[in-house]
């Protein structure tokens, strides 16, 4: 009986120790509070860009190493890119230090809330504050309403969000600014205080908002910008050590705005372009590298001559026009090809490896790419290839064959979905290459001509007559 009592006492003491330790850990866990928050939502394009400024203070008893950004589950699927930076200095001497942003999960997330963690450069001590700048882009977030319009109608779209910032922390003061492309706003949700002046909606300021505050809003406005979406883009980059880089881009383009209904009138479109197709677009601008040459633009029918190329020492601009203007729901398939000088984009690293330094993404301005595939075809004989991309992208290797190839060319394949213009940043492909392999094709051609010559000589000296 005494043994049973002693065991019960030990169990009780152990449970009390565990409870006290958990209370200590909970009390010492870092707690953050957002002193001020300013959010600016740019709706002037079909790509939504959000700029968020946060002043964060550590009110806990232990240092904090990261802060969580919360997003509703319907919005996370449309995030194309998210960046964060810490501000240092004031006014003209202000500088921005980039921070690491990674998706994360929490088991206690309410209503399927998704999170991204932003790591501080150094742990935030108790009572210390820091100002963060967060930028992220949203694609396919503007919903056309009505979903079908005639040729002469303007395009109206919906945008869904919250007047108050969704955050796992308390916010002392916050404000949200929504910028529209024009003054034509059909309606918007009011969450007092709310103001509208010119092309800007103002929600707030809201004081002492508890964590996970959410006030849904809908903004219904006019947006006649080109809703250009590339459903699939294949970029083939072929490297030749004999002096050039050849790039071929295959596009499947669609107007992702309100669908066109009724009959298309070419006469009305050309006579009244500002009314007979205001939501359509008939040209696109491609930002190409400088010193580009041998540019061509064609579709399945053949070459398209309605294009204009402007070049200088800093950049090249190619203005292209499809064979017909694109209205909502209409599609076009075409390809663009051009050459680049080898010395501008192929370099040698200190360890002796060669590497290609080229821009990732789509060269078409203000375009969303649902699926982008970049294939870098290395010269035959290249070994140990590796790619360095400044963001997450799927990578794998395959073998391609071209003229006079024997064993095939190693090809680095990069794939990424939901690509926006902010992804147009340089990436590198490293590989090893011995100069002796540059003689493979000339030796092969010389061997073929030599064997042909020997065969001709042998044929001329052979006597294949039936009788002398």
Which among 270, 307, 314, 275 is positioned nearest to 291, based on CA atoms? 314
Domain membership flag for residue 467: no
The DSSP secondary structure of 263-294, one letter per residue, reads ---HHHHHH-TTTSSTT-B--EEEEEPTT-EE
How confident is the model at residue 21, as a pLDDT?
Answer: 33
**Of 222, 247, 275, at which residue does a domain stop?**
222
Which among 452, 449, 450, 443 is positioned nearest to 381, based on CA atoms? 443
The mean-pLDDT minimum among 24-28, 91-95, 453-457 falls in 24-28
User: What mean pLDDT comes out for the span 369-386?
Assistant: 92
Domain membership flag for residue 9: no
pLDDT category of residue 30 using cuts at 50, 70 and 90:
low
CB under 8 A, 24+ apart: contacts of 321-325: 321/282, 321/283, 321/284, 322/253, 322/282, 323/299, 324/282, 325/269, 325/277, 325/280, 325/281, 325/282
In the predicted structure, residue 155 carries a pLDDT above the cut 70: yes
Rg (CA), the chain: 31
Domain membership flag for residue 455: no
The residue among 224 and 2 whose pLDDT is bigger is 224
Domain membership flag for residue 460: no
Q: Do residues 168 and 70 lie in contact, with contact meaning Cβ atoms separated by under 8 Å?
A: yes
pLDDT category of residue 10 using cuts at 50, 70 and 90:
very low
pLDDT category of residue 400 using cuts at 50, 70 and 90:
confident
Residue 417 DSSP code: E
Tens-digit pLDDT profile for residues 67-115: 999 999 889 989 999 999 998 877 777 888 999 999 998 888 888 899 9
User: What mean pLDDT comes out for the span 386-401?
Assistant: 91
Domain membership flag for residue 3: no
Are residues 232 and 111 part of one domain? no
Task: Tell me how many domains the chain contains.
Answer: 2
Are residues 235 and 297 part of one domain? yes
User: What mean pLDDT comes out for the span 417-443?
Assistant: 83
* Residue 107 belongs to domain spanning: 29-222
How high does pLDDT run on average in the chain?
86
Are residues 255 and 400 part of one domain? yes
Are residues 361 and 253 part of one domain? yes
User: What mean pLDDT comes out for the span 335-354?
Assistant: 91
**Of 183, 206, 222, at which residue does a domain stop?**
222
The residue among 333 and 304 whose pLDDT is bigger is 333
Alpha-carbon gap, residue 418 to 389, rounded angstroms: 15
Structure-token match 């921070």, residue found: 99
In the predicted structure, residue 465 carries a pLDDT above the cut 80: no
Are residues 418 and 297 part of one domain? yes
Q: How many CB atoms lie within 10 A of CB 98?
A: 11
Are residues 415 and 285 part of one domain? yes
Q: Do residues 226 and 255 lie in contact, with contact meaning Cβ atoms separated by under 8 Å?
A: yes
How confident is the model at residue 112, as a pLDDT?
Answer: 84
Q: Do residues 317 and 284 lie in contact, with contact meaning Cβ atoms separated by under 8 Å?
A: no
How confident is the model at residue 68, as a pLDDT?
Answer: 93
- Whether residue 133 has a cis bond before it, omega within 30° of 0: no
Domain membership flag for residue 11: no
In the predicted structure, residue 406 carries a pLDDT above the cut 70: no
In the predicted structure, residue 51 carries a pLDDT above the cut 70: yes
Domain membership flag for residue 464: no
User: What mean pLDDT comes out for the span 296-310?
Assistant: 85
pTM for this structure?
0.85
pLDDT category of residue 439 using cuts at 50, 70 and 90:
low
Helix (H, G, I), strand (E, B) or coil at 224: coil
Q: Looking at residue 143, which CATH number applies to its domain?
A: 2.60.40.1730
Are residues 296 and 195 part of one domain? no
How confident is the model at residue 409, as a pLDDT?
Answer: 86
Structure-token match 């590198």, residue found: 428
Tens-digit pLDDT profile for residues 236-252: 999 988 878 999 999 99
Domain membership flag for residue 430: yes
In the predicted structure, residue 16 carries a pLDDT above the cut 80: no
**Of 175, 203, 222, at which residue does a domain stop?**
222
Torsion angle, alpha carbons of 108, 113, 114, 117, to 10 = -60
Are residues 183 and 232 part of one domain? no
Chain center to CA of 400? 27
Are residues 264 and 208 part of one domain? no
How confident is the model at residue 151, as a pLDDT?
Answer: 85
Residue percentage of the chain with pLDDT more than 70: 90
Q: Do residues 72 and 113 lie in contact, with contact meaning Cβ atoms separated by under 8 Å?
A: yes
Residue 14: partners with Cβ closer than 8 Å, 6 or more residues away: none
Are residues 416 and 353 part of one domain? yes
Are residues 236 and 100 part of one domain? no
Are residues 360 and 315 part of one domain? yes
């Amino acid at each position: 009986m005494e043994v049973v009592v002693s065991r019960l006492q030990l169990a009780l003491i152990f449970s009390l120790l565990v409870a006290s330790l958990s209370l200590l850990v909970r009390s010492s866990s870092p707690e953050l509070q957002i002193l001020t928050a300013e959010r600016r939502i740019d709706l002037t394009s079909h790509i939504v860009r959000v700029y968020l400024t946060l002043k964060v203070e550590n009110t806990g008893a232990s240092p904090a190493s990261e802060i969580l950004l919360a997003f509703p589950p319907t919005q996370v699927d449309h995030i194309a890119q998210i960046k964060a930076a810490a501000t240092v200095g004031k006014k003209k001497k202000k500088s921005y230090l980039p921070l690491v942003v990674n998706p994360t999960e929490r088991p206690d997330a309410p209503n399927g809330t998704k999170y991204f963690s932003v790591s501080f450069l150094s742990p935030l001590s108790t009572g210390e504050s820091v100002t963060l700048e967060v930028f992220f882009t949203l694609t396919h977030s503007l919903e056309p309403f009505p979903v079908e319009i005639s040729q002469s109608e303007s395009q109206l779209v919906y945008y869904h969000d919250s007047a108050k910032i969704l955050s796992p922390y308390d916010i002392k003061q916050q404000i949200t600014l929504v910028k529209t492309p024009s003054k034509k706003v059909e309606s918007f949700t009011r969450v007092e205080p709310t103001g509208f002046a010119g092309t800007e909606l103002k929600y707030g300021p809201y004081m002492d908002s508890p964590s996970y505050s959410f006030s849904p809003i809908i903004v219904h406005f006019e947006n006649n910008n080109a809703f250009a979406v590339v459903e699939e883009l294949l970029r083939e980059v072929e490297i030749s050590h004999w002096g050039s880089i050849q790039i071929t881009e295959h596009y499947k383009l669609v107007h992702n705005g309100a669908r066109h209904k009724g009959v298309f009138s070419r006469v009305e479109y050309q006579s009244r372009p500002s009314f007979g197709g205001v939501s359509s677009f008939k040209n696109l601008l491609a930002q190409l590298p400088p010193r580009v040459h041998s540019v061509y633009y064609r579709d399945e029918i053949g070459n398209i001559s309605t294009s204009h190329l402007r070049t200088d020492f800093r950049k090249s601009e190619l203005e292209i026009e499809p064979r017909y203007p694109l209205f909502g729901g209409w599609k076009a398939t075409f390809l663009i090809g051009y050459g680049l000088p080898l010395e501008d984009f192929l370099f040698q690293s200190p360890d002796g490896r060669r590497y290609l330094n080229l821009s990732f993404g789509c060269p078409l301005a203000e375009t969303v790419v649902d699926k982008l595939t970049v294939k870098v075809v290395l010269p035959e004989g290249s070994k140990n290839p590796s790619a360095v991309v400044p963001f997450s992208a799927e990578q794998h290797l395959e073998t391609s064959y071209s003229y006079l190839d024997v064993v095939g060319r190693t090809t680095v394949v990069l794939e990424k979905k939901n690509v926006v213009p902010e992804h147009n940043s340089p990436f590198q492909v490293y590989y090893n290459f011995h100069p002796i392999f540059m003689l493979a094709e000339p030796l092969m051609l010389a061997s073929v001509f030599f064997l042909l010559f020997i065969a001709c000589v042998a044929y001329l000296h052979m006597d294949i007559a039936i009788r002398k």
